């Protein structure tokens, strides 16, 4: 059975992102009996930002976060958008996980990563609506994962503060069954 790492941040039990996350987990559990995740809760277990002591030994630094990525076959990232971006806690996790010599190397033919071919899904919500041509607020995480060769799907529900969440959520017509099938394949 494939192993799954879930990195999430929910600021309250009523979190809209939490709803997306648990709807995804419900469908994954339906499709794959015995489905389990390793949870990294960035709200209750904050990640220490990189400091001067880390930068001096950044190459080949094998952090706990890097070990988590390497030790799992697929990933779920669930987080709200705050001030046009992913929360700082998620940025801290990624900064500590994605370092040369740990989850990737520069080789003669380009980037080599043991994560190549793995799959991730980003589940995110935002109170407002992000106009074009502004890059999507989850774009940085998506680009980093793709840089590592991870195949990424995104569910982004925006405008959650503009109408009742139930109405906004249902208008998205999220096809959980197909999303989970693609993620598991």
Domains, the chain, in order of start with CATH, read 4-184 (3.40.50.360)
Give the model's pLDDT for residue 42: 93
Give the model's pLDDT for residue 85: 87
Question: pLDDT truncated to tens, each residue of the chain (185 aa)?
Answer: 789 999 999 988 999 999 999 999 999 999 998 889 999 999 998 777 666 666 555 555 677 889 999 999 999 999 999 988 899 899 989 988 998 888 999 889 888 999 999 999 999 999 888 877 678 888 999 999 999 999 999 999 988 988 888 888 888 888 888 989 888 88
Could you tell me if 8 and 42 are in contact, meaning their C-beta atoms sit under 8 angstroms apart?
yes
Q: Given its phi and psi angles, is residue 42 left (phi above 0), alpha (psi -120 to 50 degrees) or beta?
A: alpha
Give the model's pLDDT for residue 57: 57
Indicate the pTM of the whole model.
Answer: 0.90
Q: Which helix (H) or strand (E) holds 110?
A: strand 110-112
Could you tell me if 160 and 130 are in contact, meaning their C-beta atoms sit under 8 angstroms apart?
no
CB neighbours of 86 closer than 8 A, spacing ≥ 6? 79, 124, 137, 138, 140, 141
Distance from C-alpha of 46 to C-alpha of 42, rounded to nearest angstrom: 5
5 token code pair? 């790492």
Give the model's pLDDT for residue 154: 94
Dihedral angle sign, alpha carbons of residues 13, 15, 17, 23: positive
Give the model's pLDDT for residue 61: 61
């Amino acid at each position: 059975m494939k192993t799954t790492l879930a990195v999430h941040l929910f600021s309250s039990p009523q979190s809209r992102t939490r709803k997306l996350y648990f709807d995804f987990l419900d469908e994954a559990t339906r499709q794959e009996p015995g489905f389990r995740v390793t949870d990294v809760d960035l709200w209750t277990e904050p990640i220490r930002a990189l400091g001067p002591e880390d930068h001096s030994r950044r190459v080949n630094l094998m952090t706990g976060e890097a070990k988590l990525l390497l030790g799992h076959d697929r990933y779920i990232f669930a987080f709200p958008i705050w001030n046009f971006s992913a929360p700082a806690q998620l940025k801290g996790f990624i900064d500590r996980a994605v370092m040369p010599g740990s989850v990737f190397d520069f080789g003669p033919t380009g980037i080599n990563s043991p994560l190549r071919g793995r799959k991730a899904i980003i589940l995110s919500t935002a109170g407002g609506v992000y106009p074009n041509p502004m890059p999507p607020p989850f774009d940085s995480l998506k680009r980093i994962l793709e840089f590592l060769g991870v195949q990424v799907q995104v569910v982004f529900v925006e405008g959650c503060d503009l109408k009742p969440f139930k109405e906004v959520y249902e208008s998205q017509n999220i096809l959980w069954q197909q999303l989970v099938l693609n993620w598991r394949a």
